[in-house]
Amino acid sequence: MISIVAVSGLSACASPSSATETGDSTESESEESSTSTASTEASSESSSDDTTTTTTAGDGDGDGDGDGDSTDEGETTGPDLPPVVPESMGCLMPTPEGKPVPPQRPAYPGVCPALGPGVNNISAFGADREFILVLPDEIDETQPLPLFVMWHWLGGDADSFLTQGFVQEAANLWHFAVIIPESKDDVLFKWPFTALDAELRVDEEVAFFDAMVDCVAQQYNINESCIATGGVSAGALWSSVLANRRGVYLSSVVSLSGGTRGSDLTTEALHPWEGTPHKMPYFVLWGGPGDFCVAIDFEKASKALEAGLEDDGHFVYECLHNCTHTEPPFSPPPMTTQFFPMWRFMLDHPYWLDDGDSPWLYEGEPEGMPEWCAIGAGNAVMREGDCEPNACF
């Protein structure tokens, strides 16, 4: 038996505790919700309680409430049906025979340091770097671990991502590993996502990603078909730069108030979407037309990212809330954690899916995904309801 607290997680631009960025004091409040206890099995299938209608974290049924392109007769529209895992959560399944696998990743130059749960140090591109490694408290050595690399926001750090995202609880519940890099704190916005950052500095951050992933994979049983990345605000902006350079190895990407350069001056300093040979599914979320922080219009940046992704042939899942630049107002299902939609998206989208494909196109979205999210750019209907204060100011 494990107990999972479904409580609020990450702020978008700055830490929910009082953090200062570019002279402005930032503060947001965390929500609280109840503690639930669930029985879980080391299985890729969902589990349910016959005496209640509560949906558990592993429930992958498409019950008609999702936005998949299915008809009442069971026919589908869109791409031809490929073989898909009916229960979704393909990252917990073996890669089907004949499906593509990622190419060989860049190898760490030298001998990897011994790594374990908690804070670790590694050399990358001649610099000493730090990251937190999160592993399930109980590891099934026979089941490869999906690996998610998650980049923190401007006013945060690796530890705040860990605690406010309840990452350990999520890793225990779904049996995956998480790398949370620590910013080197030598560039204005924590991560080198602006066009003003030196190319060598971008190369260093990419090498840091390569080093962390390769050394963790050398020492733990990692599912090579489920290595994903994502971030929040500044971390999300960096994730898209990284996706352009390492997308060929990535199973999926999550952007929570991020984006790329568009035609507007408020996104001019960002890198454009450059395209990738592997069309990994992309989760794109922002806080409506008021999602603005430190001179960046995140609505315009997110829409520019979506336009590039759709032109490039990626599957896009869009979420649009009304709370501007703050923590996404998720209402997760019981017995899960606050960022259930993000984790579930990554777990449901392994590398071996065909370009532009998703099991959600055929099964519908998993139960528990927000009503203000939808498949395809421009399809989400903006959330209505109360919000926490904008976390940028």
Cα gap 259→306, rounded to integer Å: 8
Cα gap 58→367, rounded to integer Å: 10
Plot region of 228 (φ>0 → left; ψ -120 to 50 → alpha; else → beta) = beta
Confidence band (pLDDT; 50, 70, 90) for 4?
A: very low
Rg of the chain taking only CA atoms, in angstroms: 19
pLDDT value of residue 172: 97
HEC sequence for the chain:
CEEEECCCCCCCCCCCCCEEECCEEECCCCCCCCEEEECCCCCCCCCCCCCCCCCCCCCCCCCCCCCCCECCCCCECCCCCCCCCCCCCHHHCCCCCCCCCCCCCCCCCCCCCCCCCEEEEEEECCEEEEEEEECCCCCCCCCCEEEEEEECCCCCCHHHHHHHCCHHHHHHHHCCEEEEECCCCCCCCCCCCECCCCHHHHHHHHHHHHHHHHHHHHHCCEEEEEEEEEEECHHHHHHHHHHHHHHHHCCCEEEECCCCCCCCHHHCCECCCCCCCCCCCEEEEECHHHCEECCEEHHHHHHHHHHHHHHHCCCEEEEECCCCCCCCCCCCCCCCCCCHHHHHHHHCCCCCCCCCCCCHHHHCCCCCCCCCEEECCCCCCCCCCCCCCCCCC
228: tokens are: 């994903």
- What's the rounded mean pLDDT across residues 59-68? 39
- What's the rounded mean pLDDT across residues 224-243? 98
Residue-wise pLDDT for 13-31, tens only, equals 443 333 333 333 333 333 4
- The DSSP bridge pattern shows strands 296-297 and 177-181 to be unpaired
Contact 329, 387 (CB under 8 A): yes
Phi, psi for residue 33 in degrees, rounded to 5: -140, 175
Q: Which residues contact 60 (CB under 8 A, 6 or more apart)?
A: 46, 86, 87, 88, 89, 348, 359, 363, 366
Predicted TM-score of the model (pTM): 0.80
Confidence band (pLDDT; 50, 70, 90) for 64?
A: very low
Partners of 119 in the beta sheet? 132
Q: Which of 255, 307, 261 is nearest to 285 (CA)?
A: 255
Confidence band (pLDDT; 50, 70, 90) for 391?
A: confident
Cα gap 68→126, rounded to integer Å: 47
Q: Which residues contact 246 (CB under 8 A, 6 or more apart)?
A: 206, 209, 210, 229
> What residue ranges define each of the domains in the chain, with the CATH number in brackets?
61-70+84-91+114-375 (3.40.50.1820)
pLDDT value of residue 87: 59
What integer best gives the mean pLDDT of the chain?
Answer: 83
391: tokens are: 């976390």
Residue 69 C-beta-side C-alpha neighbours within 13 Å: 12
Confidence band (pLDDT; 50, 70, 90) for 289?
A: very high
Residue-wise pLDDT for 87-139, tens only, equals 579 999 999 999 999 999 999 999 999 999 999 999 999 999 999 999 999 99
Q: Which residues contact 352 (CB under 8 A, 6 or more apart)?
A: 90, 95, 96, 99, 100, 101, 225
